[in-house]
Structure 1
Amino acid sequence: MTLPDHTRRDFIKRAAFLPLAASGFGLGATSAFAAVEPVKRAGGPFLKVSCNAYSFAHLLGKSGEMNLLQLADVCAKLNFDAFDPTGYYFPGYEKNGPGVPTDKFIFELKRRAFDLGLGISGTGVGNNFTIADKAARALDVQRIKNWTEVAAKLGAPVLRVFADTQMRAETWESVSQGATRDQVEAWIADDIRACAEHAAKFGVIIGVQNHGDFLKTADQLIALIKRVDSPWCGAIVDTGYFKAPDPYAEMAKAAPYAVNWQVKQSPYGVEKQAEAPTDLKRLLRIVRDSGYRGYLPIEALSPRGAGSGYDPYTIVPKFLADLRAAIVATA
């Protein structure tokens, strides 16, 4: 039996919306994302290694011996799968302002990465959402919004932000001027949510990185992400900044929510790199057990003070080789 034309047209219209409704992106999509759950993955773990630009911080920053285009060349020569060009090192970045690089530079770097066969695993900016000064936080929100647009142009899927105080010798308790933890978490969540809403328009995920101050544990990291309550916000699991008796247990708890990682040389901080290096096989088993698929950016850090002996041209290749060996050994 042949359907009348108007019936056939109605059926086609309704059928067109079925995949959207089933995936949660049709009407009612908001309710589908109301409860933030671990990232849904398929296909088992699949891991690639990236280099965070901060590993070359001195050369990219104070000394001025390297720029991001040159960093891309170095990462290609070392056979990284990708690199993470941190916002601090772009021309036009403003530490206390909303400035962004020109499209000309963004696209030049994007093209260079493509020519080198490098992915761009993410990027990041500085911010301080624990501070009581609303105007300062608003400026940081605007900076992050601007940089989500930079990330989209660059092809970076994730933009790193902080929920910890980024001021030396200060903590969230001191800069929040007597606010309770719940009050501070509420305004951090509001600020990050505003950023995520803007980032969603450009297809960029806001990644919240634990940094050992407001976010010392996986429970605190997860609680904040759930309070933000956005499908465009997830965890960046920094393996070197959980302040808990067993940092590996914290990594394991946070791993299901990871949209990216920061793999450090020690889970106990930069000063413990020599005596307590990261057990990379243990870390990789955690990553694999979570089903994570994506980049593992390494971030090698230089201990503070002159004469630390930090040479990224020696340390980064060794760390890369050790991580790749752990990936193979745990496959």
Structure 2
Amino acid sequence: MKRRNFINQSLKMGALASLAGAIPLELLANTPYTKPFFKISLAQWSFHRALFDGSMDHLEFAAKARSLGCEGLEYVNRFFSTKAKDNSYLRQMNARAEDEGVKNLLIMVGREGNLASPDKAERSKAITNHYKWVEAAQFLGCHSIRVDLRGGIKKTEAAMASLDSLNRLAEFAQKANINILVENHGGFSSDGSWLASIMKKVDRNNCGTLPDFGNFCIEKGEDKLCLEEYNKYQGIKELLPFAKGVSAKSYQFNDKGDETAIDYYRMLRTVKASGYTGYIGIEYEGSTHSEKEGVILTRDLLLKAGSIV
């Protein structure tokens, strides 16, 4: 359906729109789902293979997200790594999002230095490296950037270094009305209790978490298989009190459309119980299905589980 026709049809369906809330009408009109308690966004990493091999351009992301029924965009800085200060390019991103009727939400920032490093100079450089992404997020109308707490060697030292980095970075970001979000994203940060203990000590209200359903591997072996994994359901519960976003990681699905490694019903019950009602971002990372199929399966599972929990 062409977008103009869709808009015209949507205007004629005002009563249904009021029931559907933020979930796109085309997803709810012909399904048994009731209105879930959250909105759906799309993490750009879901299409990392297409973006890396050039079959999809970064500027096509907004249209792709809208075509799949997602209303929020979660960018990854690696896919426009040289454009953080290019206002002309950022304007194109804004225009694409506006044209598709989707909202820029956050930038997932990586490879900008070690915020958990015990070395003060290294840590300061990493903090400064993030400034441009705070400013880019402000230009794009995002509410947050996501950061990684990497570089730590000992738990206690890494916690102290992380606390210092988050307070300093959040102080800078506060001027731009941008949040600094920490994701459980490997290493110490995938230990829910460790990350939650840091968040309790951060002295900034614009610092929070981006709990991810699947990133709870603390240590991987040389074969990249997980050697130590934190309990994902406990971890999500520990991180939700500080959440300003939620990431729905997915890998593989059974013939019923359920994720085989993550109990989405249990996860969404926990999210709902926490009082969170914001965006939940689809982040498909599997290889069994195509990236598009993986996103659709994750979206439909979110709608199904979200309508009954």
Q: 1:319 aligns with which of 275, 283, 298?
A: 298
- Using a 3 Å threshold, how does the CA distance of structure 1 residues 247 and 134 change in structure 2: closer, same or farther? same
CA distance in 2, matches of 1:316, 1:266: 10
* Larger radius of gyration between Structure 1 and Structure 2: 1
Q: Identity of aligned pairs, percent?
A: 28
2:270: which partner in 1? 286
Question: 1:275: how far off?
Answer: 8.4
Question: Residues 1-331 of structure 1: matches in 2 within 5 Å?
Answer: 46-61=37-52, 63-92=53-82, 100-126=84-110, 127=112, 128-165=114-151, 172-173=152-153, 180-243=154-217, 246-265=231-250, 276-302=260-286, 308-330=287-309
Counterpart contact for 1:68–1:85, Cα < 8 Å:
no
CA distance in 2, matches of 1:115, 1:83: 13
Counterpart contact for 2:246–2:281, Cα < 8 Å:
yes
Q: For 1:312, give the aligned amino acid.
A: E
- Using a 3 Å threshold, how does the CA distance of structure 1 residues 48 and 217 change in structure 2: closer, same or farther? same
**CA-atom RMSD in angstroms:** 2.2
Counterpart contact for 1:284–1:327, Cα < 8 Å:
yes
Counterpart contact for 2:192–2:230, Cα < 8 Å:
no
Could you tell me which runs of 5 or more consecutive residues in structure 1 were left unpaired when the two chains were aligned.
Answer: 1-44, 94-99, 166-171, 174-179, 268-273, 303-307
Counterpart contact for 2:94–2:140, Cα < 8 Å:
yes
CA distance in 1, matches of 2:67, 2:234: 35
Alignment TM-score, normalising by the size of structure 1? 0.72
Q: For 1:58, give the aligned amino acid.
A: R
Alignment TM-score, normalising by the size of structure 2? 0.77
Q: SS state of the match for residue 214, structure 2?
A: coil
CA distance in 2, matches of 1:221, 1:212: 11
Counterpart contact for 2:251–2:284, Cα < 8 Å:
no
Counterpart contact for 1:113–1:119, Cα < 8 Å:
yes
Q: Summarize deviations over 1:14-39 as a string: whole Å, max 9, x none.
A: xxxxxxxxxxxxxxxxxxxxxxxxxx
- Using a 3 Å threshold, how does the CA distance of structure 1 residues 314 and 234 change in structure 2: closer, same or farther? same
Q: SS state of the match for residue 215, structure 1?
A: helix
Question: 1:245: how far off?
Answer: 5.6
- Using a 3 Å threshold, how does the CA distance of structure 1 residues 204 and 275 change in structure 2: closer, same or farther? closer
Counterpart contact for 2:109–2:145, Cα < 8 Å:
yes
2:26: which partner in 1? none
CA distance in 2, matches of 1:195, 1:204: 10
Question: 1:87: how far off?
Answer: 1.2
Question: 1:309: how far off?
Answer: 4.5
Could you tell me which runs of 5 or more consecutive residues in structure 2 were left unpaired when the two chains were aligned.
Answer: 1-35, 218-228, 253-257
Q: SS state of the match for residue 291, structure 1?
A: coil
CA distance in 1, matches of 2:58, 2:150: 26
- For these two proteins, the number of residue pairs brought into alignment is 256
Q: SS state of the match for residue 80, structure 1?
A: coil
